[in-house]
Amino acid sequence: MNGEGRRRDFRYNRSSKKHKLIRTAEEELEAKLGFDLFSEGEKRLGWLLTFASSSLEDQETNKVSSCVDLYFVSQDGSCFKSKYKFRPYFYAATKDKMEIDVEAYLRRRYESQIANIEIVEKEDLDLKNHLSGLRKSYLKLSFDTVQQLMSVKSDLLHVVERNQSKSDATEAYELILMGKREQKSQDFLDCIVDLREYDVPYHWYDVSISSNDVMLERRTDLLQRAEVHVCAFDIETTKLPLKFPDAEYDLIMMISYMIDGQGYLIINRECVGDDIEDLEYTPKPEFEGCFTVTNVKNELELLKKWFAHMREEVGFQCDKNQGEYRAKFACHLDCFAWVKRDSYLPQGSHGLKAVTKAKLGYHPLEVNPEDMVRFAMEKPQMMASYSVSDAVATYFLYMTYVHPFIFSLATIIPMSPDEVLRKGSGTLCEMLLMVQAYKANVICPNKHQSDPEKFYNNHLLESETYIGGHVECLESGVFRSDLPTSFKLDPSAYEQLINNLDRDLQYAIRVEGKIDLDSVSNYDEVKNVIFEKLARLRDEPIRVECPLIYHLDVAAMYPNIILTNRLQPPSIVTDEVCTACDFNRPGKTCLRKLEWVWRGEIFMAKKSDYYHLKKQIESEFVDGTDVQLAKSFLDLPKTDQQLRLKDRLKKYCQKAYKRVLDKPVTEVREAGICMRENSFYVDTVRSFRDRRYEYKGLNKVWKGKLSEAKATGNSIKIQEAQDMVVLYDSLQLAHKCILNSFYGYVMRKGARWYSMEMAGVVTYTGAKIIQNARLLVEKIGKPLELDTDGIWCALPGSFPENFTFKTRDMKKKLTISYPCIMLNVDVARNNTNDQYQTLTNPVTKTYTTHSECSIEFEVDGPYKAMILPASKEEGILIKKRYAVFNDDGTLAELKGFEIKRRGELKLIKVFQNKKYRSALKTHQSGSSPVRGGNSGWRVVFVSC
């Protein structure tokens, strides 16, 4: 799979005798359910629904090969399946110039298992001086089946592990001996120093297409998904009081399900008090639920009915091994997985009821689980409605959110829809990076493993990481746009703003507006208004004014820091790397140095104590005194050993030093960033950022078309526009999800592209940006709270806000937010990367250099009010918790409170209570400074 688009032309251009297959039972069934194996005939067009790994056997030779089963849906709604052969492979690296010998040896050693070995040249970003064009040779071992690959891989992994653990000294010694000795098989094995890409999901490998086999051709012009059948179901069972249902003895009371919008309900009369008639549950006009009801006499009949219908509609069969009814071609998409990973709802709102309220916008029927069994007997009609309501909610949640999201994500990630839904965001990220690396002929690094025995200043490290985002709370209390507050401004800062006014406005016009300064007709007019405002603030710096409550935040800060600084794990270089590089010349600009802060926690014990304990424990036996059960410590798995050793060390520290860990150490470090490294990583990030912008734009376009369609009343066009709005919104969300994961991914356990330095540089750069913003804001207004990429602040009411520049030809208008551009000029001055290099000629290795800065503040507001809670303790300010209100009185933001709904109610009560209002006024206009000594009124949020 190349991971780009799921709609493919499908061709099968041969007279297929060679691979004539006997229909297996699976194929028989799949054919019955519409997925006929497409093996000859005209070229077909299909939308790839899903795929699964499989194998096929050549009838003549009985030779088994790995393949992927591809399940397609045609434009007319019919389906077909095809088997697409591939050869799984992995790479092996050898000692220098040993490729040919090792190849010959491996061919002999694994004669019956290896299908082919090729020597290939790959871009190896770990290779010294690779920018000069040096490539690394790898043996590409291909196999007919995954089983064969697995067997050879595990064999060679042991060899490589042994070879890698040998010291350099030994290696050098052996090299001298080699020439003199007759070469034995062991010598060739010793030459295999690394394996790569051996743990890649194997259906992923597929790229080559042989001339007499299945041909796949991507159709990038077609974007619309095919129509597929969707079934959402919900099962109600009996249960014991205060217990969860148990399949051992509990009965199914009813099954409700919706297939393509039509509802069905099967009633088990053993548990339900009365026959139920067909019913309707339509919580909203757009969520119509008409249910056909079948009443059966017992659970067996219920299951029979259910399975019969599932077989007929969806094509499920029983997998005897798993004991599950599944169909290979039917995607099983768990809406709950979407809720957990993609809904952005708080942990406490992950139940179906809460999700229905939040995402579908209606209140579903709710029944206390403890009442359900009784109600089934006593109020059967009510329980039927309840059961059906869950199926309706699930169906429309899936149709509205999950389906478009997952299938659009699946067009860019080479995984089946089921996996795209269930995998972590870091894994999705890695898959995308692997696609990009593959295209750039870059060999993938192996999964990162942390060094279990790292020291710092003669002490064992318990853990190490980097300083992350910067958070501060500077005020507490209530800030209202209609309630004057006191400002103590810094006149020199205003003087500075005035002096820089031309520079800042011209920056906004040229860089943000991309407009020629000369074409602006009202420049002086705007400038003078701002100048007047700033001058008045400068001249009267102590003042009481209604505040402008603003939120200024950097859009997609971490991705844009990555892109601005060309940050990627393989770009982090040491002096040693640079020294070996051809581009390392005096006055070079290709090395960019950026700071970050390392933080480590060390054990109290000294390194020598640690080694002493290690020696001791290594001579011991574990698992009791019984000689027969006793096992040498050294026979335990490595990770187990390290765990036990650390445990021993902890006990020792506790005894000898009265504490285990020393206080955390931090250290400012400098990372060297290569501005020339192969750009596949930043390219992946950028293409995501840009494609997301594209989809956001298209979403806006279709929103326009939707309102047009609504105006004309054409229901077909309304529906079409509505669908496109959802489609593009889900596409932009898909990109946002991945975009945000490219930063965290570099510190993920087992990441192929791992880098603590890179993560540290990203967060430290961000922390400096937000702290610089605060430095400015505290001179010209009041910062209230800042967190990582945004700052909440109160500016004096007379502070210049929005202005519109017009061009002489009247074609363009540019509206600027003065607080925003004031910060952006600062950001650009401090963060522009003038060393950004782009490879423009791969043959001559020529690079062009340009300046890059895509880090920009955006502005929200002004708002009606912001409330920052105080601690119960004197003078302690609380971060990450606040409430913000819009001008119309609605709640704009409520952050940090576990019980949002309850918190909201409480807050509004506090806010509206007359008694408190006067108290707030006293606090707000009072002369005592709020920061630090908060002796006045405090808003405290209490959850109960």
Binding region for DNA (CB under 7 A) out of 234-242, 582-590, 614-622, 871-879? 871-879
Which residue, 151 or 506, is less far from DNA as judged by CB? 151
Residue (157 or 399) nearer to DNA, CB:
157
Taking CB under 7 A as the rule, which mask of x and - marks residues 330-359 in contact with DNA? ----------------xxxx----------
Q: Do residues 550 and 801 touch, judged by C-beta distance below 8 A?
A: no
Tokens of 722: 């509505």
> Residue ranges of the alpha helices (H) in 123-206?
146-165, 168-180, 185-190
CB 429 within 8 A of CB 413: no
Structure tokens belonging to residue 630? 């006793």
879 binds DNA (CB under 7 A): yes
The one among 352, 759, 825, 907 contacting DNA by CB under 7 A: 759
Return the ∠ at Cα 820 (arms to 816 and 826), rounded to 5°. 120
Helix 818-831 × helix 756-780 angle, to 10°: 140
Among 74, 496, 740, 832, binds DNA (CB under 7 A): 740
Nearer to DNA, 48 or 751 (CB): 751
Which structure tokens are listed for 168? 């350099």
Q: Are 566 and 682 in contact (CB under 8 A)?
A: yes
Q: For residue 259, what are its two tokens?
A: 């297939």
Q: Which stretch binds DNA (CB under 7 A): 185-193, 404-412, 518-526, 551-559?
A: 551-559
Strand partners, 245: none
The Cβ of residue 731 has, within 10 Å, a number of other Cβ atoms equal to: 24
Question: Is 797 an interacting residue with respect to DNA (CB under 7 A)?
Answer: no
304, 631, 880, 931: which one binds DNA (CB under 7 A): 880
CA dist 238 → 245, 325, 351, 373, 375 (Å): 7, 22, 20, 6, 11
Q: How far is the CB of 872 from DNA (least distance, A)?
A: 8
452 near DNA, judged by CB under 7 A: no
Report if residue 764 touches DNA, rule: CB under 7 A. Answer: no
Closest to DNA by CB, 9 vs 601, is 601
Q: How far is the CB of 871 from DNA (least distance, A)?
A: 6
Q: Which window, 46-54, 67-75, 403-411, 740-748, contacts DNA (CB under 7 A)?
A: 740-748
Closer Cβ to DNA, 339 or 384, answer by number: 339
Q: Which residues contact 496 (CB under 8 A, 6 or more apart)?
A: none
E strand or H helix that includes residue 257: strand 252-259
Report the residue from 806, 881, 921, 938 that binds DNA according to the rule CB under 7 A: 881
Task: Tell which one of 564, 755, 763, 807 touches DNA (CB under 7 A).
Answer: 763
Site membership for DNA, residue 869 (CB under 7 A) = yes
Give 133 or 424: the residue with its C-beta nearer to DNA.
424
Question: Which CB atom, from 34 or from 201, has the smaller least distance to DNA?
Answer: 201
Length of the chain: 944
Judge contact between 550 and 862, C-beta under 8 A.
yes
* 493-510 CB burial, b ≥16 within 10 A, e <16: bbebbeeebeebbebbbe
Q: Are 786 and 501 in contact, with CB atoms under 8 Å apart?
A: no
Buried-state track 347-377, b at ≥16 Cβ within 10 A, e below 16 = eebeebebbbbebbeeebbebeeeebbebbe
- Site size for DNA, by CB under 7 A? 50
The phi, psi pair for 326, rounded to 5°, reads -145, 165
Show Cβ contacts of residue 554 under 8 Å, excluding neighbours closer than 6 positions. Answer: 560, 766, 769, 770, 789, 790, 827, 855, 856, 857, 858
User: Sign of torsion, CA 356 361 363 365?
Assistant: negative
- State which of residues 210, 815, 890, 943 lies at the interface with DNA (CB under 7 A): 943
- Which of 479/507 has CB closer to DNA? 479
Distance between CA atoms of 143 and 887, rounded to whole angstroms?
67
Rounded least distance, CB 789 to DNA, Å: 4
- Of 553, 609, 662, 856, the one binding DNA by CB under 7 A: 553
Among positions 595-614, residues that touch DNA (CB under 7 A) are: 599
Considering only residues 389 to 448 of the shown chain, the ones binding DNA according to CB under 7 A are: 422-427, 447
- Shortest spacing between CB 350 and DNA, in angstroms: 8
Q: Which of residues 94-133 bind DNA (CB under 7 A)?
A: none
Q: Which of 417, 790, 800, 862 binds DNA (CB under 7 A)?
A: 790
Nearer to DNA (CB atom), residue 781 or residue 790: 790
Q: For DNA, which stretch binds (CB under 7 A), given 188-196, 222-230, 398-406, 878-886?
A: 878-886
Site of interaction with DNA (CB under 7 A): 346-349, 422-427, 447, 465-469, 471-473, 553, 557-558, 599, 740-741, 743-745, 747-750, 759, 763, 787-790, 869, 871, 877-881, 895-896, 898, 941, 943
